Amino acid sequence: MKVLLQGEFDPITSSKIHDSIAEGFRILHDFWVGNHLPEEPLENLVTTIEVFQHRNDFLDTLAQDLDVDSSGMEDTFVGVATNQHLYLMNPSYYAKVYPEGIERQSYAKLVAHELAHLAHEKYVDHVDQDMGPIWFYEGFAVAASTQWIGQDDVLTPSQIESILTHEGRLFYRYFGSLFRVLMTKFTLTELLDMAKNNDFVIQIRDRIQKTYAPWPNGNWIEPRFHGTNKRPMVLVIPGGGYAYASSREGWPVANRFFEEGFHVGVYWYREKIVLEPYLLEEAFRDLGWLEKDPRISGIIVMGFSAGGHFALSMMEAKPTKFLAGILAYPVVSARKPYAHERSIETLLGHLPNPAERKRLSLEEHVSTLLPPLFVWHTMEDSTVPYENSVMLAQSIQKQGAVCELHLYPKGSHGLALADETTPFEGCDPQQYRDQHRHVATWFSLAVSFLWLNLPIEHINFKRGT
């Protein structure tokens, strides 16, 4: 591969351009391989890269080599990749016309963006229409180049619809924002293959309509329904120390409740880090979408670890919004020595003061209105001491509310379903199941608790259907 610098570049700038080109290839390669795409399209991607010092030389070369009219090209047109050839304006010009795009390694990401178009074209065997609509292939290039990663826009439903139906080139960051969230719904292979179909946009729109706002790239609720039948939803809130939402405690658990006949959902509440007290405000806004759904007769909330603290916070703040609750090894207290300090600090964004510790010690805020609550914990838990659950159960008993507490003598923190579907990373699934077979009984106990305590009008469906 040849790199031609067209114009007078000082040695430092020349070196930086070569480094950026090498980094651009690395960025694309890591994205491509990391998403399990075949490596063949990356082979012999380009033979020549030309970087221009002067705008007129860039435009004249495009007009001559590509036989295009470059006179009407906008100033923001800074690169084009075609026929194993990449034409680019220089880094300083790019920074001038795309000031909102300047970030760490921004020029390397521009290189990766243009290379991604060539790789995408090879992936679809050079059939242009199979690359999908403009928003899709430009969104793919933004995602592949990691441009603006972590800065995605939270798009409204009307903005999403505008992107899906618009044939022009809107703000590329919007394309990237939409594409990155689609990658959480489909594998990249599925997306690239779906884009070849005439009903591609219909498929995407259908998936969007099954996802509750705010969408995308905010915190969101991902549901699964038993058709249009009206019944309760079990909303699962994974743990993760308020820093992330653990996938082990998400869909594996929700799917088990789905098999029991409940509508289910997983609340991905740490896609965007929202601090206390705004996290609770956001939660009730998102729950409003569930409450409006005619298929949902009521909400049962289940939380693991820090997700248990979040779930209990919701139930204590607005107890009448919930039919029941299930808590697994929950963070309850913010008081030493039983507090899980990292969760409390992450929720606040700083070390807690005494008043904040009191406010976040949920065992102190139980009321008689608390919905029926099923709680389980292992006594060997060295991350979140089991005393959190004991103190909570004692407070509930004093208030005269309903609580069923199960303490298992063996088992570490974070066991999830405690079966072969949720082993810790690196653990053999069958050994994990055999080791924790007794703890795994919590699920059937929790389901029995729900059938015993839910109002009769909410259980007029057959289990498993």
Per-residue model confidence (pLDDT) at position 288: 87
- Compute the distance between CA of residue 445 and CA of residue 406 in angstroms, rounded to an integer: 9
**How confident is residue 214, by pLDDT bands cut at 50, 70 and 90?**
very low
Highest mean pLDDT among 44-48, 248-252, 276-280, 393-397: 393-397
- Compute the distance between CA of residue 402 and CA of residue 398 in angstroms, rounded to an integer: 10
Q: What confidence tens digit (pLDDT) does each residue in 216-250 have? A: 446 888 888 887 789 999 999 999 999 989 989 99
- All residues at 6 or more sequence positions from 56 whose CB lies less than 8 Å from its CB, including other chains: none
Q: What confidence tens digit (pLDDT) does each residue in 282-313 have? A: 899 889 888 888 889 999 999 999 999 999 99
> What is the pairing mode between strands 220-224 and 263-268?
antiparallel
Domain 220-458 top-level CATH class: alpha beta
Highest mean pLDDT among 98-102, 228-232, 417-421: 417-421
Domain positions in the chain: 2-209, 220-458
Per-residue model confidence (pLDDT) at position 152: 59
Query: In the predicted model, is pLDDT for residue 437 greater than 70?
Result: yes
- Compute the distance between CA of residue 118 and CA of residue 107 in angstroms, rounded to an integer: 17
- Compute the distance between CA of residue 177 and CA of residue 418 in angstroms, rounded to an integer: 36
Q: What confidence tens digit (pLDDT) does each residue in 30-67 have? A: 989 888 899 999 999 999 999 999 999 999 998 888 88
Per-residue model confidence (pLDDT) at position 151: 64
- Compute the distance between CA of residue 11 and CA of residue 185 in angstroms, rounded to an integer: 46
- Compute the distance between CA of residue 174 and CA of residue 444 in angstroms, rounded to an integer: 44
Percent of the chain with pLDDT over 70: 92
Report the sign of the C-alpha dihedral through residues 311, 317, 322, 327, in that order. positive
Alpha helices in 38-129 (DSSP H): 55-66, 91-97, 106-123
- Compute the distance between CA of residue 57 and CA of residue 68 in angstroms, rounded to an integer: 14
| Bridge partners for 263 per DSSP | 233
Mean pLDDT, range 179-183, rounded to an integer: 83
Per-residue model confidence (pLDDT) at position 441: 98
